[in-house]
Amino acid sequence: MTRFTAPIAEQIWDMKYRLKEADGTPLDVSVEDTWRRIARSLAEVEKEPEVWADRFYTALEDFKYLPAGRITAGAGTARSVTLFNCFVMGTIPDSMGGIFEMLKEAALTMQQGGGIGYDFSTIRPKGADVKGVAADASGPLSFMDVWDAMCRTIMSAGSRRGAMMATMRCDHPDIEDFITAKSDAARLRMFNLSVLVTDDFMEAVKTDGSWDLQFDGQIYHTVQARDLWNKIMRATYDYAEPGVIFIDRINAANNLSYCETIAATNPCGEQPLPPYGACLLGSINLARLVSDPFEDAAALDEDALQELVATAVRMMDNVVDASNFPLAAQAAEAQAKRRIGLGVTGLADALLMLGLRYGSDEAARQTEDWLHAIARAAYLASVDLAKEKGAFPLFDADAFLASGAMQHMDADVRDAIREHGIRNALLTSIAPTGTISLYAGNVSSGIEPVFAYAYTRKVLQKDGTRTEEEVVDYAVQMWREKFGDRELPDYFVNAQTLQPLEHVKMQAAAQKWVDSSISKTINCPEDISFEAFKDVYMEAFETGCKGCTTYRPNDVTGSVLSVAEEKKSDAPEVVTSSEDEPRQPHGDVIYMSEPLDRPKALEGQTYKLKWPDSEHAIYLTINDIIVGGHRRPFEVFINSKNMEHFAWTVALTRMISAVFRRGGDVSFVVEELKAVFDPRGGAWVQGKYIPSILAAIGGVIEQHLISIGFLEGEGMGLKSDPQAAVVNLGGPRGPACPSCGQYDMRMIEGCMTCGSCGHSKCG
């Protein structure tokens, strides 16, 4: 018997969370061993560790409480790792020495796998005077490029993929360059970008007022606020960035506004943090708490919810003491405030089990009620911890209770805090849960709607073949088991069929009782008008959201997910060529009984392949032979001045040429090369994501085979051009996953996430 309800859940556990020896030998024999390992580790700081280990195990059992992946993978392993997901780094000084000291701290943090957020508003604008050196400043964007390169370098050293968030104030003189930075598909790919939007700016937008761009008290430019807002909107409409963070609202609501100022968030935006702040995340799986699903008596067990929340808060508080930190300043910040971020996952599935349509007024009210119950339980549990272990060191009752978030908290909770203090300064946050949601049986992620009811994924087997399996949403699978093939009711909706303002309604409903913030993607159709798109952001501001992230399919980031690929001309540059032979009809594959000797002269073409971040280009020469009146590939030469490529390019040249000379259907060479992914990450080339340099070579060969008529078109004629069939979805296929190579990347909770392997751009 297994606790896993879907094959993908067990695969995720084995790949990401199961403790193994260095040689791959499993130490966690079962998922119960994983739960026991986590429970014992987090109970070590308790006075009665065995008692609490059993209670923690019960919370983890059957995926009811899901600690963030860093905790699940690292707790109890005796490895020197951080259990915190991500950090906001220190304030960047406006000096060369200070900037590069911050770069070093970022590198040390990312080396341990932490995602980082930075506010680049503190760096003087481009063209400003640099005193003492008779030079002009290069501006914050130039230093962001340095950070971006650092992140790629850390990844190339074999470290866990990093993620970064860069923010900039809406009144910084370089804000317009910041807004348009990612219109270049090759620039700042390691960053998410968000503009820090103030209340004054939003008021100026509404009244069509002027807006000063200034730094250090000096006004550099004056623009119309509405024009600047439209530039932000146009950029995110065209290529999904930058996001928008309502920074004044965040600081006004912050429980700790009396002792910190926030200017940045973690990479996905759900944790606004002060300098050196860290986010500690975990989620209550609401889908596991519903009794009598799809029946008239369906209900979420609120007593079980309250007990589970209290146990989860205690576990997370213990993580503060159990974790390592990359920097001493991060440890000090965590200890002083003990903030945690308890959230939810499986919300959409839970709503479906109650017969509620995600995005409806009824679903929004139910969401608000559930999040209110969680907030009450979390705050009261933290008060109980304060009675037992003491309040967080910087607690000040009057100042704490005067904050925006606490003013609308229930009176009995406020009274308890005033009398006994509180252990954790902030307690709730809704983080991306893409991977842990798959691990929990493919429950809906965070507070997102169901992405797709079902889709197929290709699974790489040990013998190198790929098999297909269906991945079904948790609630849909439960419906099938209960009712067989009965048609899904009308209240089953998914991310692609919802209206954007319905997404906003759900985010706003949840935000009322979340003291940090929420990571959520508002999916917009490709044909949404620009004016309607802007209305989404204005509605998010007016209804109390702390930020807004949308995703509209575009040429830079691709579609969310699809079943077919639009044919675009991405052919590499042709450097030299012979006279073209007449193009032959596709389908006449020539099989040769014996390898042919090479003629003295062959006709072919040489292609130049420029891989980003590589100093030297790669040149591919593909020569053809005429057999039976048809032109077919005969040999390949791969050359580069980069001597690091020498050995593998020679090997590839010999192997591919040998295959070509044997004849037959050699299109599998293209297929195999295009399926190669680089675990360090691929690159964007001509607006298209290529998972590795070998995949890029495969693409060049494919274009050549198309040009000579051997293949009809891109992805055509191959035995297995990777693609995912998704229920209720269509449109152009998005980029391949840089981890597993599958075309299953989705924008969920503000982060590109792979449905096949759980890889997340945001770590």
What is the tens place of the pLDDT at every residue in 535-589? 999 999 999 999 999 999 876 665 544 333 333 334 444 443 333 333 333 334 4
Give the residue with greater pLDDT, 454 vs 763: 454
Residue 584: predicted pLDDT: 35
Give the range among 112-116, 249-253, 610-614, 684-688 with minimum mean pLDDT.
684-688
pLDDT over 90 percentage in the chain: 61
- Say how far apart CA 211 and CA 26 lie, in whole Å: 60
Q: What angle do CA 35, 37, 40 make, to 5 degrees?
A: 105
Judge if 741 and 691 occupy the same domain.
Answer: no
**Digit-coded pLDDT (tens) for 346-365:** 999 999 999 999 999 999 99
Q: Which of 196, 231, 264 corresponds to the end of one domain?
A: 264
pLDDT at 594 over 50: no
Q: Is residue 139 part of a domain?
A: yes
* DSSP 8-state secondary structure symbol assigned to residue 241: -
pLDDT (mean) for 590-619: 73
Q: Is residue 667 part of a domain?
A: yes
Structure tokens at 118: 């930075």
Give the residue with greater pLDDT, 556 vs 272: 272
Judge if 743 and 667 occupy the same domain.
Answer: no
Give the residue with greater pLDDT, 148 vs 252: 252
Q: What angle do CA 171, 175, 178 make, to 5 degrees?
A: 155
State which of 131-135, 372-376, 552-556 shows the largest mean pLDDT.
372-376
What's the burial of 7, exposed, middle or buried (CB within 10 Å: 0-12/13-18/19+)? middle
Q: Which of 230, 264, 298 corresponds to the end of one domain?
A: 264
Judge if 697 and 579 occupy the same domain.
Answer: yes
Q: Is residue 395 part of a domain?
A: no
Judge if 759 and 691 occupy the same domain.
Answer: no
pLDDT at 661 over 50: yes
Domain with residue 247: its CATH number is: 3.20.70.20
Residue 377, SS3?
Answer: helix
Q: Which of 237, 264, 291 corresponds to the end of one domain?
A: 264
**Digit-coded pLDDT (tens) for 475-533:** 999 999 999 989 999 999 998 889 999 999 999 999 999 999 999 999 999 999 999 99
Q: Catalytic amino acids?
A: 266, 268, 270
State which of 73-87, 134-148, 280-294 shows the largest mean pLDDT.
280-294
Judge if 109 and 251 occupy the same domain.
Answer: yes
Q: Is residue 670 part of a domain?
A: yes
- Say how far apart CA 73 and CA 62 lie, in whole Å: 17
Residue 731: predicted pLDDT: 37
Residue 753: predicted pLDDT: 77
Residue 588: predicted pLDDT: 43
Please name the residue that has the structure tokens 């080396």. 111
To the nearest whole number, what is the mean pLDDT of the chain? Answer: 86
Judge if 100 and 216 occupy the same domain.
Answer: yes
Judge if 682 and 745 occupy the same domain.
Answer: no
Judge if 754 and 666 occupy the same domain.
Answer: no
- Specify the number of domains making up the chain: 3
Backbone angles phi and psi of 484, in degrees to 5: 65, -130
| Dihedral of the alpha carbons of 751, 752, 754, 760, in degrees to the nearest 10 | -50
Structure tokens at 29: 């024999």
Cα–Cα distances in angstroms (integers) from residue 227 to residues 139, 240, 241, 319, in the given order: 22, 19, 17, 46
Judge if 655 and 762 occupy the same domain.
Answer: no
pLDDT at 176 over 50: yes
Q: Is residue 419 part of a domain?
A: no
Any residues with CB less than 8 A from the CB of 79 and at least 6 apart, and which? none
Cα–Cα distances in angstroms (integers) from residue 297 to residues 143, 307, 662, in the given order: 58, 22, 67
Q: Is residue 116 part of a domain?
A: yes
Q: Is residue 407 part of a domain?
A: no
Beta bridge partners of 343: 283
Judge if 101 and 235 occupy the same domain.
Answer: yes
State which residues form the domain around 754: 559-564+724-763
Beta bridge partners of 119: 167
Judge if 729 and 622 occupy the same domain.
Answer: no
Read off the pLDDT band of 613 (50, 70, 90).
low
Q: Do 716 and 671 touch, CB atoms closer than 8 A?
A: no
Judge if 631 and 733 occupy the same domain.
Answer: no
Q: Is residue 303 part of a domain?
A: no
